[in-house]
Structure 1
Amino acid sequence: MTYREPLSQKAVGISIAESKDMEVLGLSEEHLRDAMAEVARHLLAMGARLVYGGDLRQRGFTELLFELVARHHRDADVGDGRLSVANYLAWPVHRTMQPEAIQIVAENHKGLAELHFLDDQGRDLSTEHLEVVSSLITDEDWSAGLTAMRHVLTGACHARILLGGRVTEFKGRMPGIAEEALCSITAKQPLFILGGFGGCARDIAEELGLVAPHQIQTAAWAERAQFSGMTQAVLNNGLNKSENETLARTVHIDEAVALILRGLLRCFSDPDEKSTALGPA
């Protein structure tokens, strides 16, 4: 009988971005990168496929994901042909990049990662049909392109994890993490909120009653009202109220990872394997 990791048939979306209140919380971008690295590393070890919507800038979160996947393949000797990460680029993102540079990135990550370049409707474009936009990309272009990408991301995922997220100076109709959270809630996907790193994820956790309102003065964002009146039941993530509250406030990534994996296994494990896989509650 061939062994399969517990999450080998599942794809988990990661929604992450810097938040301006991290410094006030005594945290830095490195804390956020370390948190993402640990979450991603454990998900890969459990066989999950990672899904992310981002750009290809140096030192960005996409680059970090690619590095983690490459290391995982070396350490685990993965040779079954599975691509462990899928990265989606919205139309306004890749239209500002040189096609030659995109071709180089795609070639460098061949066999490790899927790169999807989407048009303004969220349809896949081949790298041969990419071109630099010759006109100004408007706010409406950004909103339409990013929303289309986020709907595609939702269709590619079975669950989603939220960390950080800016609530000012963002592109699109609303903060990206908020829009991806709403997409997952609408699709009734398991949603895990790590609010201890502040930002949009923390604001959503407050609206769901998982954490008390923060004493730090944070920026208001209009679309936050869409989460008003929701409860933690919309998370649909296999965790009980107390566990979700702990996940929403902790800055200890080991604790957060343990809770995420517990919830995912409760949602997706074979019923006959759950008790063994989960261990003590």
Structure 2
Amino acid sequence: MSRIDFKGRVAIVTGAGGGLGRQHALALARRGAKVLVNDLGGTRDGSGGSVSAAQAVVDEIRAAGGEALANGASVTDAAAVQAMVQQAVDAWGRVDVLINNAGILRDKSFTKMELADFQLVVDVHLMGAVNCTKAVWPFMNAQKYGRIVMTTSSSGLYGNFGQSNYGAAKMALVGLMQTLSIEGAKNDIRVNCLAPTAATRMTEDLMPQEVLQALKPEAVVPAMLVLAGEDAPTRTILCAGAGTFEAAHITLTRGAFIGLGDDAPEQLAARLAEVTGRADDQVPQSGAAQGTNEVGQAMAAARAAR
């Protein structure tokens, strides 16, 4: 079993001034990466800002003998993000790894949530990752190598009361990963998602103390290192927390051909359990799988009717 190594690699970690992002940055540096530590330095809801949080992590990395730079850009500012990536390229000549970790919370039930709070959470989580990925993409294409990790969440994959904004943004990152992994394949850009369960500033008042003790952010890091390493998979959603690792899949059932008769709605309602049954479900390799399955069954039904 060979050690996952990042010697000679350059990594950017967003939201790395504390919590999970800090652990990601420290782990990458320990394994040889040069790390640009990005953090706006704001509060949990995204207000305020200071580069001091990022600088503290940089100082920690340097004290341990590593190389690091601090950056205080907001991931929602596309121009500042471009300058951040250029900062890494100017210093080290390349960017190999991007960990899209920056995020905020503005939790409320959908009934009580202001649209501005919905928009801001989507801007930080989704558009922040888009801005950062767009900025590194040409460099990764040119060097024919890249590893990008999107931070999704069980709140997006499966839902969570009071987090419609957060869940929507986090599930959107899965969709982004699905397409970028296809588009990046020819130049060895591998794109994956990490769904962490960790006790951080984002979750400190959401869980009992004994649970928080089990959910150390460090326990998520091995999954990040696998998804960002040279032998990383692509189009994989790894879930991690408390030392346990799982995978989530977006699957497609075989379904049933019902046709276009006037009673198609009633037929579908009557056979819904068959349509949703997972005995023969698959993990599609692209969105075309749905159409292929549908047309295939329609053609088979037409042949049988002759």
Which TM class, normalised by the smaller chain length?
0.3 to 0.5
Structure ranking higher on relative contact order (CA contacts 8 Å, 6+ apart):
1
TM-score by length of 1: 0.45
Give me the TM-score of the superposition, normalised by structure 2. 0.42
